[in-house]
């Protein structure tokens, strides 16, 4: 199959050389899909914001208390809550106080299991259509639209069981509008609508 796809030329590849596939042709089905954000779990919000904001130049777009955890959404200085659906280069940080004794690892430290990396987020014009596409390609849907169960939020069991408080209805309202699918290596990929409806809508 790879020999039919110019974006995946067949190997073997020569060591130390860049392989430069031609640009992909325009695909109307995915024209407005974009890599939007990555999610990381953090231990110390003050230290993380000092690193990502003060040291690397991002700014805090919003902070959201989801109940048992707090979300810090960071992005370039021109990003705002109104432009999240069309922004690029966003970083979502989860501070879960219940994880204070759990060691986070990056996934690059073999031999140390860990849950530091969360997911890759894509904004799409229509999440329902994107899920149809994912299924057509034979990939797994982990969390469909309209579902808001804590078990599908990638949280520690003690949070799911409610021992750290309840997940806020505001977060659940947003969570129902997005979906998660699994990539071939098991990583979670979040599909977010370009416009997230407010509870009043």
- What is the model's pLDDT at position 83? 92
Please state, for a pLDDT cut of 90, what percent of the chain lies above it.
Answer: 29
Closest CA to 159 of 56, 66, 51, 57: 66
Is there a domain that residue 16 lies in? no
Please name the residue that has the structure tokens 């407010």.
198
- What is the model's pLDDT at position 1? 42
179-182 β-sheet, strand order? 59-65, 70-75, 90-95, 34-42, 117-124, 188-193, 179-182, 141-143
Is there a domain that residue 170 lies in? yes
103 CB-side CA count, 13 A: 7
Q: pLDDT for 66-84, tens place per residue?
A: 999 999 999 999 999 999 8
Cα angle at 148 between 142 and 149, to 5 degrees? 75
- What is the model's pLDDT at position 86? 86
Is there a domain that residue 7 lies in? no
- What is the model's pLDDT at position 66? 92
Q: What is the mean pLDDT of the chain?
A: 84
Which two three-digit tokens encode residue 35? 């890599």
Greater pLDDT, 188 or 144: 144
Closest CA to 85 of 188, 197, 198, 192: 192
The tally of domains found in the chain comes to: 1
- What is the model's pLDDT at position 63? 97
* CATH number of the domain encompassing residue 172: 3.10.180.10
Is there a domain that residue 200 lies in? no
Q: Is the pLDDT of residue 26 over 90?
A: no
**Confidence label for 54 from pLDDT (cuts 50, 70 and 90):** confident
Is there a domain that residue 82 lies in? yes
- Contact criterion met (CB below 8 Å) for 95 and 6: no
The per-residue DSSP string of 122-156 comes to EEES-HHHHHHHHHHTTPPEEE-TT---GGGS---
Give me the domain span that covers residue 57: 31-193
Q: CA 196 to CA 58: how far, in whole Å?
A: 22
DSSP code at position 161: T
Q: pLDDT for 147-169, tens place per residue?
A: 988 878 877 777 777 777 788 88
Q: pLDDT for 99-151, tens place per residue?
A: 888 877 655 554 556 666 778 888 889 999 999 988 988 888 999 999 988 87
Q: CA 108 to CA 68: how far, in whole Å?
A: 27
- What is the model's pLDDT at position 171? 86
- What is the model's pLDDT at position 177? 95
Q: Is the pLDDT of residue 4 over 80?
A: no
* Stated length of the chain: 201
Q: CA 3 to CA 11: how far, in whole Å?
A: 9
Greater pLDDT, 182 or 90: 90
Is there a domain that residue 3 lies in? no
Q: Is the pLDDT of residue 2 over 50?
A: no
């Amino acid at each position: 199959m790879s020999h039919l796809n110019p974006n995946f030329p067949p190997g073997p590849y020569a060591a130390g050389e860049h392989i430069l596939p031609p640009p992909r042709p325009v695909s109307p089905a995915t024209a407005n899909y974009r890599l939007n954000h990555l999610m990381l779990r953090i231990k110390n919000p003050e230290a993380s914001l000092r690193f990502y904001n003060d040291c690397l130049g991002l700014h805090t777009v919003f902070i959201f208390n989801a109940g048992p955890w707090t979300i810090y959404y960071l992005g370039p200085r021109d990003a705002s809550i109104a432009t999240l659906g069309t922004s690029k280069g966003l970083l979502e940080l989860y501070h879960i106080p219940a994880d204070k004794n759990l060691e986070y690892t990056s996934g690059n430290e073999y031999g140390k299991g860990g849950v530091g990396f969360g997911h890759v987020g894509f904004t799409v014009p229509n999440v329902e259509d994107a899920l149809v596409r994912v299924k057509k390609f034979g990939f797994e849907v982990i969390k469909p639209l309209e579902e808001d169960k804590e078990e599908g939020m990638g949280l520690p069991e003690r949070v799911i069981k409610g021992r750290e408080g309840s997940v806020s209805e505001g977060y659940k309202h947003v969570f129902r509008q997005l979906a998660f699918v699994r990539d071939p290596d098991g990583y979670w990929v979040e599909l977010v609508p370009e416009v997230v409806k407010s509870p009043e809508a």
